[in-house]
Amino acid sequence: MDKQKIYVLGHKNPDTDSICAAISYAELKKRRGFNAVAGRLGELNRETAFVLNYFGVAAPELVETVKKQVSDLSIDVTPSISPEIPVKTTWTIMKNSNVKSLPVVDENEKLVGVVTLSNITEKYMDVLDNRIIAASKTTLQNIAETIHAEIISGSSEDFHTTGQVMILAADPQQMADFVEKGDIIISGNRQESVIPAIEIGANCVILTCCHEADQSIIDRAEEFDCILMTTEADTFTTARLINQSIPIGYVMSTENIVKFDMDDFVDEVRETMMKTRFRSYPVVDGSNRVLGFISRYHVISQHKKQVILVDHNEMSQTAPGIEEAEILEIIDHHRLGDLQTNSPMLFNNEPVGSTCTIIANMYFNSGIRPPAKIAGLMCSAILSDTLRFQSPTCTYLDRITAEKLAEIADIQIDAYAMSMFKAGSSLKGRSPRDILNEDFKVFELHRGKIGISQVYTIDMESIIEIEEPMIQEMLAYCTDGQFDLLLLLVTDVLNQGSELFFAGEMKEVIGRAFNVQPLEYRVFLPGVVSRKKQVLPGIVNALETIG
């Protein structure tokens, strides 16, 4: 049995630490025998894109939700059939495959109908029209295949039957009272009966219990353009089987088909199943191609999606649908958030500058040397989150870990860090919304809802160009997102300080939080470079002092 997939996910609006932590920890879990895959909850920023490109690592797959979907179920893969195949063949396929439903598809493998055992039995048992062969547009080949017959004379081009099937038992002198032009005649190999039927205009004659047709019958059939077939089956068996030659397209259900897509949520699927009560349901892709079938037992028996969260532990920062997933682990370096779990799990939270510092030491403590490109990713994350060891969040463990990783990845820390910051720090040509969303985190505090965004730059002069549109964007953002306070921290990588833009009804708290006299919407904070260790604690402390 395949091992259940485990998604390793960083936070929304991912930064370099979030993405690199997800990739690196997924790799470690794979080495320990788990089916782990890295995911991301947003688009890459420029710095992270530079890092992945530098080390030749593909971006993690985008995960839009961790709610259980049809794609998480072990669906039954069933054979597809075309609408032209006979009922008898369909029945045989169902019996051999041990299924009670089959998808019917066109030449492009797209779903056109569904056939069930009930469809077949209801139609077969309810046959009162002895012209169903014509009504269903049954092909000559279907008839021959179903009754195991050999075509002796004529071809598909000659098959123009009215569909009426007659077992020839009448007196040859009274044949005209029973046989009509275009009929299908079932008879033994008796020329005294068969030839009159051919002369009346029978379109197809089936000789039963017949190894070899009488030559006079063959000659007469060719003369009157009558199709002649022989079968070793007896007359009763032939008559019983011939209606099973009708194409399954005549029997299948084509209206009100309930089908599901791979992206459909299981809770919605379950609700639909309760309302419709079919035995099974087709699953299709975006092009309406059949992927398989699901039944109630699929929905009931499947486990939740399994996830590991890195670089965050707050509801507002994690994947949609997390309440329906099973959180196996959390590896983080931030304050405790509001995530809750239904069962115990591994929670590794350490006061270091980067999540990748924790993960790298999990490699080392396990005696596993990370591959060079994984070491490069983790080193990049540490350099990014600690601003090349200049952030107050940086610890001795961050520094020595980064140095060890840099040696494995064969990079020079100072030169590489400057290239990385330069690639991701330019603000020119970027929209205010893009800048604000690059590394944006939401904090639900007891006094209100706060959003804090942080970007890094080595070109602080570019702030002048974005100041006015950025303020307008933040005011609109406050209204649209119902934020009580919105902050944008533009951090100077070289000179270790940040320009703080702010908006919202609680903006008066800024002066108290940082002991400054701000302008209406901005203030420069020398030495302030950490959202986690300097900005958020200052805001929280200031709010607590307000009566």
pLDDT of residue 399: 97
For residue 295, give the nearest of 78, 67, 87 by alpha carbon.
78
- Residue 459 and residue 416 in one domain: no
165 DSSP β-pair partners: 184
- Residue 169 and residue 207 in one domain: yes
Across 197-213, average pLDDT: 92
Cβ–Cβ contacts within 10 Å for residue 534, how many? 20
- 434 CB-near residues (< 8 Å, 6+ apart): none
Alpha carbons 67 and 69: distance in angstroms, whole number: 6
pLDDT of residue 394: 95
- 445 CB-near residues (< 8 Å, 6+ apart): 540, 543
- pLDDT of 2 above 70: no
- Residue 448 and residue 534 in one domain: yes
Mean pLDDT, the chain, integer: 90
Q: Report residue 397 CA to chain centroid gap.
A: 40
| Highest mean predicted confidence (pLDDT) among 14-28, 109-123, 189-203, 265-279 | 14-28
Alpha carbons 150 and 219: distance in angstroms, whole number: 16
Alpha carbons 112 and 114: distance in angstroms, whole number: 7
Across 464-482, average pLDDT: 89
- Residue 112 and residue 260 in one domain: yes
- Residue 223 and residue 264 in one domain: no
Across 214-227, average pLDDT: 93
pLDDT of residue 119: 81
pLDDT of residue 1: 43
Distances (CA, A) of 452 to 30, 474, 476, 494: 34, 11, 15, 21
- Residue 481 and residue 535 in one domain: yes
CB neighbour class for 417 (10 Å; exposed up to 12, middle 13-18, buried from 19): buried
- Residue 317 and residue 375 in one domain: yes
- pLDDT of 366 above 90: yes
User: Is 1 domain-assigned?
Assistant: no
Evaluated on CA atoms 193, 198, 202, 208, the torsion sign reads positive
Find the distance separating the first CA and the last CA of the chain, reported in whole Å: 60
User: Is 331 domain-assigned?
Assistant: yes
327 DSSP β-pair partners: 307
Q: Identify the CATH number of the domain in which residue 518 sits.
A: 3.10.310.20
Domain boundary among 408, 424, 440: 424
Domain boundary among 399, 424, 449: 424
440 with 451: CB under 8 angstroms?
Answer: yes
Amino acid symbol at 156: S
401 with 359: CB under 8 angstroms?
Answer: no
pLDDT of residue 310: 98
- Residue 26 and residue 10 in one domain: yes
Domain boundary among 230, 245, 260: 245
pLDDT of residue 29: 97
- Residue 535 and residue 450 in one domain: yes
Q: Is 290 helix (H, G, I), strand (E, B) or coil?
A: strand
- 157 CB-near residues (< 8 Å, 6+ apart): none
pLDDT of residue 128: 55
User: Is 78 domain-assigned?
Assistant: no
Q: Identify the CATH number of the domain in which residue 36 sits.
A: 3.90.1640.10
Across 332-338, average pLDDT: 90
- Residue 450 and residue 529 in one domain: yes
Q: Identify the CATH number of the domain in which residue 214 sits.
A: 3.40.1390.20
- Residue 404 and residue 265 in one domain: no
Across 377-404, average pLDDT: 96
User: Is 204 domain-assigned?
Assistant: yes
The residue range of the domain holding 154 is 139-245
User: Is 131 domain-assigned?
Assistant: no
Number of folded domains that form the chain:
4
- pLDDT of 127 above 60: no
152 with 230: CB under 8 angstroms?
Answer: yes
User: Is 461 domain-assigned?
Assistant: yes
Across 179-190, average pLDDT: 90
pLDDT of residue 279: 84
pTM over 0.85: no
Alpha carbons 507 and 497: distance in angstroms, whole number: 20
- Residue 296 and residue 232 in one domain: no
Q: Identify the CATH number of the domain in which residue 108 sits.
A: 3.10.580.10
pLDDT tens, position by position, 502-522: 999 998 899 999 999 888 899
